[in-house]
Amino acid sequence: MQEMLYRTNLILTMNSCHIDLKHIRSFRREQLLRCCEMLSQTDIPSYWYQNRENTLSEMIENEGFFDYLAEFVEADLDIVSVDHLVMMIRSHCETVTDYPAERIISTLKTEAFKKTTYYDYLKYYSHLPLNSDRQSLIAENLDMFYKQQKVLFSDLTEAERALFDEPFISCSDLFPIESVKRTCELLVLDTDLLELMRFLYENKIEVSLDAEEYEVIHKSSSQIKEGFFNAFRLFSNDTETMTDFVTRWQENNCLTYDLDVLEKRLQLLDAEQRKDAVKSRSGYINLLYGNKISNIPLADIRDYQEDILIYAITSKKNRFIRLVEENYSIFENMSRFSILFDRDFYTEYINLNTLTKSNLDDCRRMSDHQWELAALRHESYTFTEIKTLYGLSEAYIHLYDRLTTPRVDDRLITLKQLAKRKLLIKDMDDADISKLAEKLSVKPLYTWMRDNFSHISELKAPDAIQLLLSYDELTGLIPQMKTPSDVMLAVRNRDRIQGFPDMESLKDDMLSIDTAWASLLKAMDFSKEFVQENKDHIISFVCRNGAQIALTYYLSLSNGKREAFKRIVKAELMGRFESLKYFEDDLRREISYPVDDTLKTAWANNSDMMRGDVFVKEYDDFFGTMLMGTMPQRTCMSYMDGQYKECLLSGFDTNKKLLYAYVDGKVAGRAIIRLTKGRYSNPEAHIDEGDDASLSFVDLETATELDDKQKSSVQEVLTIFLERPYIAGVSPEIDQQIKSLFIEIMEAKASMMGSTLVLSRDYYEAKKQGYINTMFNLYISQSKAGAQYFDSLSGSAYVSDEKSYRSSRFLIREQDVRK
């Protein structure tokens, strides 16, 4: 009962003093009652300690604090600041009354201090006779100290803490705060270092020193200090020039050697020359090495130019320096991406002293910043070698480095033969590169073709490469090879040809060992008689990877499309693909327009054209059609995984062909061309041509002649439509050249056929003259495939769209519009 009364009394007393009851758990009853009693005897407002945990805890535990608190109230101190300082004092296991009240009040009254610095100033500096300026200085320096969190101020020695009365401490450029303890140790230990920092600060020399540079200066501080003092004198106490000098000295690794040499060299120059000599790093190095460069404005050069000149100076590349001085306009106007400014180029791969003016001109043009030197060996090359390798993929570089032909010129001939026609694939297997290099070290590719492969008719360089890669395995069969198909047959099966004495034996069994053909044969269910009758065509088909291509596409088709594709493959295997492509009256029926034999022959004729490095030709064959979605890049028509791959079947329609553009023997562009009809007036949504018979690919084994039906509309014009081009892997200039050739070859064909040429608007930049952007209604032809894809007409079109028109804007020659 007595205990309950005591507790009740304590609660009532604490409530009357506005002390939170939670403190009953943290302090003894006697402490709490004594605190309440002291409060009743003072005029301390409750808001001074209410919700101020640190202040209240000090009141409860330290009776002497009440007198301090009364003085704080009278001095009108900031309550929050008081509570924070109390917290800091207590965190150091001290009490507020360990310090005179007037020192605490003075500290908290000084506006220069922040909460984080109250305690350190109070403990270590408040007893000193400091004026307001020195107080502010220490406050600023303490604030700098607490920009790092690793070291406590109490971790410093008394001598180190005394440094915080130095003005330069608050300058982050002169005082590396990230290593504050070591920095203070060095400044206390090394008076020359300390004097040097004072010198830099007092003379407003704007330099930035890190911890590593502090260590370097400390090792020779007396010599460095003297060198700086002398340099400042030689620069006539000019702060800006001295700043440039110290910056250059730092860039050159803070060498004492520099100070000794430069003092002597500076004495030989006038005031203006001294300023110019330290404005740039290259000028500084040039001065240091005895002014090897005399005719280049070093103060004005760019950083990437400066780097190579510094290297030339320090590496004694005097012939290169003279070359640049004599041809400075070439050097000055080079792109920063020029190979000349690649550090690896001039330090690892080339001797700068061997360069000529012609080489300098070449370097100006060699500025593809995406090409890297990393693929080269770390050995010296001649400039001619680097120029030849420049821009080539790693496969060429790796092959060149593995050629063992003694003479450089012979190795370059071998490489140029490959590079000119881009015969190596980008991601060529490393083992294959080594094999090819071994063979080409014996003799160049075209010498192999002349001496060893001339009996193989129409052998192309890419096939010869494949033959060399399999040369060791195929040595016994090579003399019997007659055609490129023989080559590819042997190459494709090189791992399975052991035991075949000759090509005929291999051909006899080839269809049984080729896995892709075996799968296609099973999927399409061709008869044994069919295979036997068409064996030669089938072998040629398989050698061109046709079985794998056809199988991949066939299996991806819906069941309703497979029979149509099977008929196409069958025609190719029979050697009669052209008969299927241009079967009897199919062209007229597809476009519902009168087509006589002359017109049909003109359309079927595949023309070609060459301009510079670009070769363009029409294609209508099986492989050209199948691969349209993979060359020169993957598109939605890819037979493997294209979104609209089922529409690929429509490419075999009679009225569709392809244009392919080749650069250096490789496909760089392609576009679909369509023979159809069109009209300028707005037609009905659907035109009934009176021919309801659906179209399909004919089975040539059972084909019969179709009746001739000729219909036309006087309002319609025969139209060649050139779809948007797909171009990849070429420069913008070649891109435009390909588009222009596509247009030119189609203009010739349209003129020959008396038709109107309609261009996708993607050709706008390639052909502005004579073409206008106008509305035109393009006829959607019937297709044997059931679905077509229009690159320039918003995607796919299905059977429901056939025999109707789509209206859009196209490019048409003004002379055709006016007809």
Q: What is the mean pLDDT of residues 437-453?
A: 94
Residue 575 has pLDDT above 60, yes or no: yes
Render pLDDT for 284-337 as a digit per residue (tens, 0 to 9).
Answer: 888 888 788 877 888 778 888 989 988 998 889 999 999 999 999 999 999 999
Within this chain, do residues 487 and 615 fall inside the same structural domain, yes or no?
no
Q: What is the pLDDT of residue 384?
A: 94
Within this chain, do residues 654 and 768 fall inside the same structural domain, yes or no?
yes
Give the C-alpha separation, 59 to 56, whole Å.
5
Of 533-547, 616-630, 673-687, 729-743, least confident by mean pLDDT is 673-687
Within this chain, do residues 534 and 648 fall inside the same structural domain, yes or no?
no
Where does a domain end: 489, 516, 541? 541
Residue 260 has pLDDT above 90, yes or no: no
In a domain, 490, yes or no: yes
Within this chain, do residues 779 and 645 fall inside the same structural domain, yes or no?
yes
Residue 46's CB: how many other CB atoms inside 10 A?
A: 11
Render pLDDT for 216-240 as a digit per residue (tens, 0 to 9).
Answer: 999 999 999 999 999 999 999 999 9
In a domain, 698, yes or no: yes
| CATH number for the domain that contains residue 621 | 3.40.630.30
Residue 684 has pLDDT above 60, yes or no: no
In a domain, 564, yes or no: no
Render pLDDT for 455-477 as a digit per residue (tens, 0 to 9).
Answer: 998 888 888 999 999 898 888 88
Within this chain, do residues 797 and 687 fall inside the same structural domain, yes or no?
yes
Confidence of residue 695 (pLDDT cuts 50, 70, 90): low
Within this chain, do residues 810 and 673 fall inside the same structural domain, yes or no?
yes
Where does a domain end: 485, 514, 541? 541
Q: What is the mean pLDDT of residues 382-392?
A: 92
Residue 497 has pLDDT above 80, yes or no: no
As for how many domains the chain has, the answer is 2
Within this chain, do residues 602 and 663 fall inside the same structural domain, yes or no?
yes
- Position 317: which residue type? K
Within this chain, do residues 668 and 797 fall inside the same structural domain, yes or no?
yes
Render pLDDT for 168-205 as a digit per residue (tens, 0 to 9).
Answer: 999 989 999 999 999 999 999 999 999 999 999 999 99
Confirm if 776 and 768 have CB atoms less than 8 A apart. no
In a domain, 673, yes or no: yes
Residue 649 has pLDDT above 80, yes or no: yes
The share of the chain scoring above pLDDT 70, in percent, equals 93
In a domain, 187, yes or no: no
Confidence of residue 694 (pLDDT cuts 50, 70, 90): low
Within this chain, do residues 492 and 587 fall inside the same structural domain, yes or no?
no
Q: Is the dihedral of CA 5, 3, 8, 67 positive or negative?
A: positive
Averaged pLDDT score across all residues of the chain? 87
Confidence of residue 794 (pLDDT cuts 50, 70, 90): low
Within this chain, do residues 806 and 670 fall inside the same structural domain, yes or no?
yes
- Rounded to two decimals, what is the model's pTM? 0.57
Residue 362 has pLDDT above 50, yes or no: yes
Q: What is the pLDDT of residue 1?
A: 63
Within this chain, do residues 698 and 810 fall inside the same structural domain, yes or no?
yes
Confidence of residue 703 (pLDDT cuts 50, 70, 90): low
Q: What is the mean pLDDT of residues 781-786?
A: 83
Give the C-alpha separation, 404 to 511, whole Å.
40
Confirm if 671 and 629 have CB atoms less than 8 A apart. no
Of 120-124, 263-267, 715-719, 788-792, least confident by mean pLDDT is 788-792
In a domain, 733, yes or no: yes
Where does a domain end: 541, 568, 597? 541
Q: Which residues contact 581 (CB under 8 A, 6 or more apart)?
A: 604, 620, 652, 654
Q: What is the mean pLDDT of residues 44-68?
A: 88
What is the residue range of 488's domain?
A: 459-541
Q: What is the pLDDT of residue 798?
A: 53
Q: Which residues contact 193 (CB under 8 A, 6 or more apart)?
A: 186, 187, 214, 217, 218, 221, 225
Q: What is the pLDDT of residue 711?
A: 40
In a domain, 729, yes or no: yes
The four Cα atoms 641, 643, 645, 646 give a dihedral, to 10 degrees, of: 130
Within this chain, do residues 720 and 779 fall inside the same structural domain, yes or no?
yes
In a domain, 204, yes or no: no
